[in-house]
Amino acid sequence: GLGLGTTITFASSHWLLAWMGLEMNTLAIIPIMAHLHHPRAVEATTKYFLTQATAAAMLLFASTTNAWLTGQWDIQQMTHPLPVTMITLALALKIGLAPVHSWLPEVLQGLDLTTGLILSTWQKLAPFALLLQIYPANSTLLIILGLLSTLVGGWGGLNQTQLRKILAYSSIAHLGWMILILQFSPSLTLLALLTYLVMTFST
């Protein structure tokens, strides 16, 4: 389910299909997160589900608004500033960029390390692929999100004593740098993403 969801989002040029892939991703990881039947894991799963459902609803609303305003569903033909802004914020909520990051440390803290690894690497790929496709239209917003994330990620991690929360803030900071450099050099962003994946896997 996880693999198929991400692949569908990667392969789609239609917003509805991309949304479907993201939904499959979310629904596939829910049982993996809750399989321990520990109150912490169930709480983390619930928080994750509510956050991702909000982001998905926002994404669907924005893409429908885009179809209504411009008459087409193509991901790379995003021209109207309103749906572009809404979709960027929905994707920021999905991957946990500041200022909509606060769910990520809490959710990660309640999971075991393997599930945490899937959450902080694989689950970020599909929304990131969508951000890569719509980035030229909303550079100011992306710069603000990126700067905020690097600052929040850097400062938030300093005060932590728990490994998973440190990793969560590290994720926020790394994503901030990636989003910041996205509009200037997408290939550098992909290199940073690859480096982040390798470092997180090894940790």
State the pLDDT at residue 201: 94
* Mean pLDDT of the region 2-15: 95
Reported confidence tier of residue 113, pLDDT bands at 50, 70, 90: very high
* Mean pLDDT (whole number) for 88-109: 95
Q: What is the pLDDT of residue 138?
A: 72
Phi, psi of 136 (to 5 degrees): -65, -20
Q: Please check the confidence at residue 137 and state whether its pLDDT lies above 70.
A: no
Share of the chain above pLDDT 70, in %: 100
> Does the pLDDT of residue 33 top 90, yes or no?
yes
Omega before 99 cis (within 30°)? yes
- Do 12 and 21 meet the contact criterion of CB atoms below 8 Å apart? yes
**Residue 27 banded pLDDT, cuts 50, 70, 90:** very high
User: Which residues is 14 bridged to in the sheet?
Assistant: 74
Cα dist. 68→12, 76, 185 in Å? Answer: 20, 16, 32
Helices (H), 101-185: 103-109, 113-120, 122-134, 139-158, 163-182
Task: Round the average pLDDT of the chain to a whole number and report it.
Answer: 93
Q: pLDDT tens for residues 41-98?
A: 999 999 999 999 999 999 999 999 999 999 999 998 888 999 999 999 999 999 999 9
- Residue 81 burial (C-beta neighbours within 10 Å; 0-12, 13-18, 19+): exposed
Say how many Å lie between the first and final Cα of the chain, rounded: 25
pLDDT of amino acid 159: 83
Q: What is the reported pTM?
A: 0.94
Query: What is the spatial distance between Cα 55 and Cα 51, in angstroms, rounded to a whole number?
Result: 6
Residues 6+ positions from 190 with CB-CB distance below 8 Å = none
Nearest alpha-carbon partner for 62 in 161, 162, 130: 130
**pLDDT on residue 136:** 72
